[in-house]
Amino acid sequence: MDNIIEIRNLHFRYDADGENPSEEVLKGIDLDIKQGEFVAILGHNGSGKSTLAKHLNAILVATDGKVIVDGIDTADETRLFELRQRAGMVFQNPDNQIVSSIVEEDVAFALENLGVPYDEMRKRVDEALKAVNMYDYRLHSPSQLSGGQKQRVAIAGIIAMRPKCIILDEPTAMLDPQGRKEVLSAVRRMNREHGITIVLITHYMDEAAQCDRVVVMDSGRIILDNIPKKVFSQVELLKKIGLDVPQVTELCWELRKSGVDISSEIISEEECVAEILRLFNS
Amino acid sequence: MLKDITIGQFFPGDSIIHRLDPRFKIIMTFIFIIMIFTGKSMICLGIGAVYTVTAVLLSKIKFKMFVKSIKPLMPFLLITAFLNILFVNGETVYFHWKFIKITSEGINVSIFMIIRIVMLIVGSSLLTYTTSPITLTDAVERLLSPLKRFKFPVHELAMMMSIALRFIPTLIEETDKIISAQKARGAEIDTGSLLNRAKNLVSILIPLFISSFRRADELATAMECRCYSGGEGRTRLRQLKSSSMDYIALSVTVFFLLCVIMTNLIYS
């Protein structure tokens, strides 16, 4: 499969050409993401994960190095809209990214900007709303919706552009557990059914555990990049950089420390139950 | 508590008036205003009243709502009427004391003015009662779009207006939260002297302003991420379609205006 995102030796500091450039926020990132992958980028506050995400959509442009998204160099300003159509971005606060007072018009916002003709727009808006299960709310005002619903509307607004890739910058950080579940399942469906590449920035371990691949960042560098099981088996390293592991993984790690012969690659409750039952029976 | 505030006072419904094209409704409101201000005699006002009452009945909005819209302006109306009664000169004098004269002309002028302004309020309330603010903004944008040729920022103004409408509930919610937070810290917001309360208002406004700027910043980024680049080459999901009903309503309005002008000519 082809890489949709290629990052080569990315360095970034804020206000690089200004009078007081900040410290380097990103210190040489190399990352390839394949078409159709579901990748989580994990890290605690200040690790540079959100800064990295903003490079994928040319909100920020590299101080040094290259970011290529679907064949487009993000430094190329002439292809900015083309890039943003192919790689859509969903932000943390659902309230601050909804533009219109009517749900369906908000979903249409990007299409209106791109000058998509009415018939095509109507079709795509309805499809996008159905894809996130918000079609019944199409004539509501966003202020009548819950956080999870608003975030799904924001996702629909991106899907309507028919992007190849969606970057979500902590989309569930401001939501209640129910809202988190709704948003994550909508995102997962986009990935499975429509083959859209997903880059999920998060600090929730259980969300990262559901992805195909987890990239862990710490102070501007990538320190782990592997499938979730392998990443979360590094309990000591993760704890050292201030991250937790999923509760079940931690449980197994504690058990192993006290001498129980239990697998180190457990990331879901079902796996944990099965493993404990196996030990119990043997 | 702040959630109960409604801006623009729109009452959703499905009456003939609700279904009219908002662009036509705005134009008709203008014609209506011209109609009641060109009318010089009571007969003209009578024609205007027939038009107003018919429109109100067709809108199926409760009469009470219109009374509500007049109420806040009542003191202003009465004071102006009172001054008119006292100071308008005329021939038939009922009462005279120093410079104060009450004449039949004065009384006529006051009554005339009250009816005129009441009709003006009812007519323009009808527009906002039957058209949602967002549709209204949209219609204004389209009506003003010829001004784009003269570099008048029609689209930008409409976009600002619709974003403002979109954020009213969000900011009201936020204000509620800030009030609670400041109360929890001991701020006296609905108690204390008037001066103290005014001072304490600052402790609500400052956080509200700061958070609004942050929101504006984030919203701007989000809009750019969805390829917003101003009004040029934009298409619209909301289509305004005028039907034969709109043209009939417009013709009726113009007919009433002509009636008023004719009456003026006949009686002058």
Provide the pLDDT for residue B98.
Answer: 73
pLDDT per residue as tens digits for the range B6-25 = 445 778 888 999 999 999 99
Report the candidate in A197, A121, A132 with the shortest Cα–Cα distance to residue A166: A197
pTM for this entry: 0.83
**Among B32-41, B155-164, B191-200, the least confident range:** B191-200
Look up residue B41 and give its two tokens: 């005699």
pLDDT per residue as tens digits for the range B81-120 = 888 888 777 777 777 777 777 888 888 889 998 999 999 9
Average pLDDT, chain B: 87
In chain A, residues with a C-beta closer than 8 Å to the C-beta of B213 are: none
Q: Answer whether B234 sits within 8 Å of A115, measured CB to CB.
A: yes
Which chain A residue lies closest to B217 (C-alpha atoms)? A96
Average pLDDT, chain A: 90
Which chain A residue lies closest to B233 (C-alpha atoms)? A115
Q: CA B73 to CA B147: how far, in whole Å?
A: 34
Average pLDDT over every residue of A261-281: 86
Domains along chain A with CATH numbers: 3-245 (3.40.50.300), 246-282 (no CATH)
Task: Sort strands A3-12 and A197-202 into parallel, antiparallel or unpaired.
Answer: unpaired
Q: Identify whether the C-beta of residue A113 lies closer than 8 Å to the C-beta of residue B227.
A: yes
Give this complex's ipTM.
0.88
Look up residue A73 and give its two tokens: 């160099």
Q: CA A168 to CA A50: how far, in whole Å?
A: 9
Which distant-in-sequence residues (6+ apart) come within 8 Å of A39 by Cβ?
Answer: A33, A197, A198, A199, A200, A211, A212, A213, A214, A215
Average pLDDT over every residue of A143-161: 93
Look up residue B127 and give its two tokens: 């527009």
In chain A, residues with a C-beta closer than 8 Å to the C-beta of B218 are: 91, 93, 96-97
Question: Which residues in A157-175 are b (16+ Cβ under 10 Å) and which e?
Answer: bbbbbebbbbbbbbbbebb
Average pLDDT over every residue of A150-176: 93
Provide the pLDDT for residue A235.
Answer: 87
Is A81 an interface residue toward B (CB < 8 Å)?
A: yes
Residue type, B228: Y
Provide the pLDDT for residue B182.
Answer: 87
Q: Per DSSP, which regions of A129-173 are E strands? A: 165-169
- DSSP state letter for A140: S
Of B165, B218, B225, the CB nearest to A101: B165
CA distances from A179 to A5, A172, B180, B254 (A): 29, 7, 25, 54
Is A78 an interface residue toward B (CB < 8 Å)?
A: no
Q: Which of A55, A112, A159, A166 to probe by mutation at the B interface, max B CB count within 10 Å? A: A112
pLDDT per residue as tens digits for the range B111-152 = 998 999 999 999 988 998 898 888 888 899 999 989 988 988
CA B127 to chain centre: 8
Look up residue A16 and give its two tokens: 């690089």
Provide the pLDDT for residue A119.
Answer: 94
Measured in residues, chain B has a length of 268
pLDDT per residue as tens digits for the range A36-87 = 999 999 988 888 999 999 999 999 999 899 999 999 999 998 999 999 999 9
Which helix (H) or strand (E) segment holds residue B240: the answer is: none
Q: How many CB pairs under 8 A join A and B?
A: 90
Q: CA B60 to CA B13: how far, in whole Å?
A: 8
Report the candidate in A165, A86, A163 with the shortest Cα–Cα distance to residue A124: A163
pLDDT per residue as tens digits for the range A214-234 = 999 998 999 999 999 889 888
